[in-house]
Structure 1
Amino acid sequence: MAPRPNVAEKCIEQILDAAMVVFAQASFQEASMDEIAREAGLSKGAIYLYFNSKDALIGSILDRLFSVELDALKELQTAPGSVSDRLMALDRQVADDMIRMTPVFPILYEFYAEAARKESVRQVLKGYYDAYHERLVELLRQGVESAEFRAVNVHDVASAILAIYEGLALLWTVDPEKTTWGETNQTAIRLLVNGLRTESN
């Protein structure tokens, strides 16, 4: 008999919370399902009821971490206002998310390491970046089509925006004194947006 939906959801959240604690203390390679079960206060069988492998668990954690940003960007695609204003709103959202996610940064970089070793994890991570990139492209295209932005290669600009955030996140992890979320990122994105605008804007 399958668990009731509300019970299942509660167990899944409990397992994901426990997995994030364990993965923050050890690498994905070293962490075991037994450790996750102990941290969650559940049997290993209960873990496998919801996640048939460690890779499935990793994929669900990635989805949990990144779905908020993807949803926010999707909303901005149809929000009122100029594309410049919406990009700056996105920038503020990213800064807030980065600060919120500070405790799980060790896990985020574990994902990169694991993606270099496992194709399944790389594909999950690539799926997130592809979706984020696609939504950025659509937002930037609106700016070009409305003549707010110059006729630029929106795919390249979207990649540049992603590179700014990923680069700042790495710099912040290594040397937080050189990066202040809410300031450093805002400077970079404002410079980029100003460079995109047409003379009339």
Structure 2
Amino acid sequence: MPQPQIESSQDRRTQILDAALICFAKRGFHQASMHDISAEAGISVGLIYRYFENKDAVISAMADRHKKEIHEVLERARRAPTLLESLEILFTAHCCEDAPQVVSAFVVDLYAEASRNPHVADLVRDVLQTAMDGVTDLIARSPEAESAAHGLKPHELAELIFAVSRGMLMRDVLQPQEMTAAERRTRQLEVTRRLWRLLFKKESEPAYA
């Protein structure tokens, strides 16, 4: 089937980055080549090199794109009327992706590559810090922060939230389940609400109320 007409330079970059994500998830960052990416994207290797010098440049562009997505999700979360609804937005932001297991596999491999590649490690730390700072600020601005369980500070609460999020990501990779987008969203909401009750319950309420 012929590839759809690409209308702009930005569209072409998006096409390449989407193909790279699939290749990195399937083969790993270290094993995937620019030829693999070109085959997945359905374009020539030479055309990819017009946009990206090497794989490090590709992963840098992916990090920049993800940071932009994080800022967009955080902005939506800030407009929610309660902290619980903000967390629900954060935990369900990617439920409608076509291949969530591919994204999860990519992220897990990226963490592994970060242990070997200082450039990738810097990118991962930068993206994670962007997300952590945003969630910490979100919590700090909320009334619920005053009644956090065990007197936890906003940054400590954010660390626990991210620990749960990463654990769910690992489960997607190790225990893949066939789910519709609606089923995936329901699962994420259930986890979010349990976590919220544990972290922000009032002293008079049981943890699993």
Letter in 1 for 2:77: L
Q: Is the 8 A contact 2:74 2:135 kept in 1?
A: yes
The equivalent of 1:83 in structure 2 is 83
- Structure 1 residues 158 and 98 mapped into 2: Cα distance closer, same or farther (>3 Å)? farther
Answer yes or no: is 1:192 the counterpart of 2:196.
no
The equivalent of 1:166 in structure 2 is 166
Letter in 2 for 1:169: L
Runs ≥4 residues deviating over 6 A: none
The equivalent of 2:142 in structure 1 is 143
Query: Which runs of 5 or more structure 2 residues have no equivalent in the other structure?
Result: 1-5, 178-183, 205-209
The equivalent of 2:112 in structure 1 is 113
- Structure 1 residues 80 and 106 mapped into 2: Cα distance closer, same or farther (>3 Å)? closer
**What RMSD, in angstroms, separates the aligned Cα atoms of the two structures?**
3.0
Q: Is the 8 A contact 1:115 1:122 kept in 2?
A: yes
Answer yes or no: is 1:104 the counterpart of 2:66.
no
1:182 to 175, 179, 189: 189
**Which residues in structure 2 correspond to 1:27-66 (within 5 Å)?**
27-65=28-66
Distance in structure 2 (CA, Å) of the matches to 1:192 and 1:27: 36
The two structures have a TM-score, normalised by structure 2, of 0.75
* TM superposition shift of 1:12: 0.9
The two structures have a TM-score, normalised by structure 1, of 0.77
Identity of aligned residues (%): 26
Distance in structure 2 (CA, Å) of the matches to 1:80 and 1:162: 19
Q: Which moved more, 1:112-121 or 1:67-76?
A: 67-76
Query: Which runs of 5 or more structure 1 residues have no equivalent in the other structure?
Result: none
* TM superposition shift of 1:106: 1.9
- Equivalent residue of 2:188, what SS? coil
- Equivalent residue of 1:182, what SS? helix
Letter in 2 for 1:90: L
Q: How many residues align?
A: 190
